[in-house]
Amino acid sequence: MNFARFLNPRSLPLVITTSLFALLYGFGAVSYDAFLSPQVFVNLLIDNGFLVVVAVGMTFVIISGGIDLSVGSIVALTTMVSATLAQQHHWNFWQILPLVLAIGCLFGLFMGVLIQVFKLQAFIVTLGGMFLARGLCYVISIDSISITEPSFTVLAEYRIPLGEETFVSTSGVVAIALLAVGVYLAHYTRFGRTVYAIGGNERSAMLMGLPVAKTKIMVYVLSGFCSALGGVLVTLYMQSGYGLHALGMELDAIAAAVIGGTLLTGGVGYVVGTLVGVMILGVIQTLIVFDGSLSSWWTRIAIGGLLFVFCLLQRLLDRSGKKIRTKN
Amino acid sequence: MNLQSISKGRLFWPLVALFLMVMVNFWFNPDFFSIKVVNNGLYGSVIDILNRAAPVMLIAMGMTLVIATRGIDISVGATVAISGAIAAALIGGSLEIKDGVQTYVSNTPMSLAILAALGVGLLCGLWNGFLVAGVGMQPIIATLILMVAGRGIAQLITGGQIVTIYYEPFFFFGNGFFLGVPFAIYLVAAVAVVLLLLVHRTALGLFVQAVGLNPTASRFSGISARALIFWVYGFCGVTAAVAGVIIASNVKSADGNNAGLMMELDAILAVALGGTSLDGGRFSLIGTLIGALILQTLSYAIYSLGVPPEINLVVKAIVVFVVCLIQSEALRNMLFQRRTRVEGQA
Amino acid sequence: MAQEPILEMHRIHKRFPGVVALKNVGIRLFPGEVHALMGQNGAGKSTLIKVLTGVEKPDGGDIRLAGKKIQPGSVLEAQDLGISTVYQEVNLCPNLSVAENIYIGRFPTRGPLIDWPLMQERARSALKALNLSVDVSLPLFSYPVAVQQMVAIARALSTEAQVLILDEPTSSLDEDEVGRLFEALRQLKSKGIAILFVTHFLDQTYAISDRITVLRNGEFEGEYMAADLPRLQLINKMVGREIDESAFGRQEGASNADSSGRRPFLATQRLGRAGAMQPIDLDVRCGEVLGLGGLLGSGRTETARMLFGIDPADTGSLSIEGVPVRVNTPHRAIQNGLAFCPEDRKTEGIVADLSIRENIILALQAKRGVFRFLSKKRQSAVAEDCIKQLGIKVADAESPISQLSGGNQQKAMLARWLATEPKMLILDEPTRGIDVAAKLEIMDLVKEQCRKGLAILFISSEMPEVLRVSDRIAVLRDRQKIGELAGNDADEQKVFRMIAGVDS
Task: Kindly report, residue by residue over C33-58, the tens digit of the pLDDT.
Answer: 999 998 876 678 888 988 888 888 88
CA dist., res. C219 & res. C216, Å (int): 5
- Residue A325 reports pLDDT greater than 60: no
Q: Under an 8 A CB cutoff, do B321 and A114 touch?
A: yes
- Which chains does chain C touch, 3 or more C-beta pairs < 8 A? A, B
CATH value at residue A219? 1.10.3470
- Residue B246 reports pLDDT greater than 80: yes
CA dist., res. B235 & res. B228, Å (int): 11
- Interface mutation vs chain C, best among B220, B226, B279, most C CBs within 10 Å: B220
CA dist., res. C68 & res. C160, Å (int): 18
The answer to whether residue A299 neighbours chain B at the CB level (below 8 Å) is: yes
For residue C18, which residues of chain B lie inside 8 Å, CB to CB?
A: 346
CATH value at residue B61? 1.10.3470
For residue C108, which residues of chain A lie inside 8 Å, CB to CB?
A: none
Contacts 24+ apart (CB under 8 A), C485-490: C485/C293, C487/C255, C487/C289, C487/C291, C488/C250, C488/C255, C488/C257
Phi, psi of C238 (to 5 degrees): -70, -40
Percent of chain A with pLDDT strictly greater than 90: 46
Q: Are residues C133 and C36 in the same domain?
A: yes
For residue A202, the enclosing domain spans: 10-319
For residue C364, the enclosing domain spans: 246-251+259-500
Q: Are residues C189 and C46 in the same domain?
A: yes
Q: Under an 8 A CB cutoff, do C91 and A208 touch?
A: yes
Choose between C436 and C303: higher pLDDT: C303
CA dist., res. A48 & res. B57, Å (int): 39
| Chain pair A-C, CB pairs under 8 angstroms | 77
Q: Are residues C12 and C152 in the same domain?
A: yes
Looking at the domain assignment, is residue A155 inside a domain?
yes
For residue B205, the enclosing domain spans: 3-339
Q: Under an 8 A CB cutoff, do A131 and B148 touch?
A: no
Q: Which residues pair with B162 in a beta bridge?
A: B255
CA angle, corner C273, sides to C340 and C413, nearest 5?
A: 10
Q: Is the dihedral of CA A224, A225, A226, A232 positive or negative?
A: positive
Q: Is the dihedral of CA A74, A80, A83, A87 positive or negative?
A: negative
CA dist., res. B171 & res. B176, Å (int): 7
Q: What pLDDT is stored for residue B337 in this prediction?
A: 55
pLDDT tens-digit series, residues B41-61? 788 888 889 999 999 999 999
CA dist., res. C115 & res. B45, Å (int): 68
Q: Under an 8 A CB cutoff, do A204 and C144 touch?
A: no
pLDDT tens-digit series, residues B155-182? 888 888 888 888 777 888 888 888 888 8
The answer to whether residue B162 neighbours chain A at the CB level (below 8 Å) is: no
What is the 3-state secondary structure of A72-110? Answer: HHHHHHHHHHHHHHHHHCCCCHHHHHHHHHHHHHHHHHH
Whole-complex ipTM:
0.82
Looking at the domain assignment, is residue B45 inside a domain?
yes
Residue whose C-alpha is closest to residue B130's, from B139, B118, B121, B117: B139
Average pLDDT over residues B196-213: 92
Other residues' Cβ atoms within 10 Å of the Cβ of residue C206: 16
Looking at the domain assignment, is residue A324 inside a domain?
no
Q: What pLDDT is stored for residue B243 in this prediction?
A: 95
* pLDDT grade for C124, boundaries at 50, 70 and 90: very high
CA dist., res. A277 & res. A272, Å (int): 9
CA dist., res. C78 & res. C156, Å (int): 11
Looking at the domain assignment, is residue C210 inside a domain?
yes
CA dist., res. C51 & res. C61, Å (int): 11
Looking at the domain assignment, is residue A328 inside a domain?
no
Mark out the alpha helices in B138-257 (DSSP H runs).
139-158, 172-175, 183-201, 204-213, 215-220, 225-251
- Interface mutation vs chain B, best among A61, A140, A285, A300, most B CBs within 10 Å: A300
CA distance C264 to chain B (A): 24
Largest Cα separation within chain C, whole Å, is 80
Phi, psi of B290 (to 5 degrees): -65, -40
For residue B202, which residues of chain C lie inside 8 Å, CB to CB?
A: 370-371, 373
CA dist., res. A263 & res. A79, Å (int): 30
CATH value at residue C178? 3.40.50.300
Average pLDDT over residues A186-206: 92
Residue among B311, B312, B330 minimizing CB distance to A118: B330
Split into its structural domains, chain C has a count of 2
Q: Are residues C183 and C60 in the same domain?
A: yes
Q: Are C298 and C476 in contact (CB under 8 A)?
A: yes
CA dist., res. B318 & res. C488, Å (int): 71
Q: What pLDDT is stored for residue C80 in this prediction?
A: 84
Residue among A184, A188, A201 minimizing CB distance to C93: A201
Q: Under an 8 A CB cutoff, do C141 and A1 touch?
A: no
Phi, psi of B165 (to 5 degrees): -105, 130
Q: Are A84 and A145 in contact (CB under 8 A)?
A: yes
Looking at the domain assignment, is residue A75 inside a domain?
yes
Q: Where are the beta strands (DSSP E) in C300-437?
A: 315-320, 323-325, 338-341, 424-428
Return the minimum-mean-pLDDT range out of A243-252, C92-101, C284-293, C374-383.
A243-252
Split into its structural domains, chain B has a count of 1
Average pLDDT over residues C474-481: 87
Chain C, window 151-170: residues with a beta carbon less than 8 angstroms from a chain A beta carbon: 155
Looking at the domain assignment, is residue B346 inside a domain?
no
Looking at the domain assignment, is residue C2 inside a domain?
no
Return the minimum-mean-pLDDT range out of A313-327, C165-179, C396-410.
A313-327
Residue among B201, B203, B220 minimizing CB distance to C330: B220
Q: Are residues C273 and C339 in the same domain?
A: yes
Q: Are residues C153 and C184 in the same domain?
A: yes
CA dist., res. B90 & res. B113, Å (int): 6
CA angle, corner A48, sides to A44 and A50, nearest 5?
A: 150
Q: Under an 8 A CB cutoff, do B220 and C416 touch?
A: no
* pLDDT grade for C479, boundaries at 50, 70 and 90: confident
- Domain boundary at C173, C208, C239, which? C239
Split into its structural domains, chain A has a count of 1
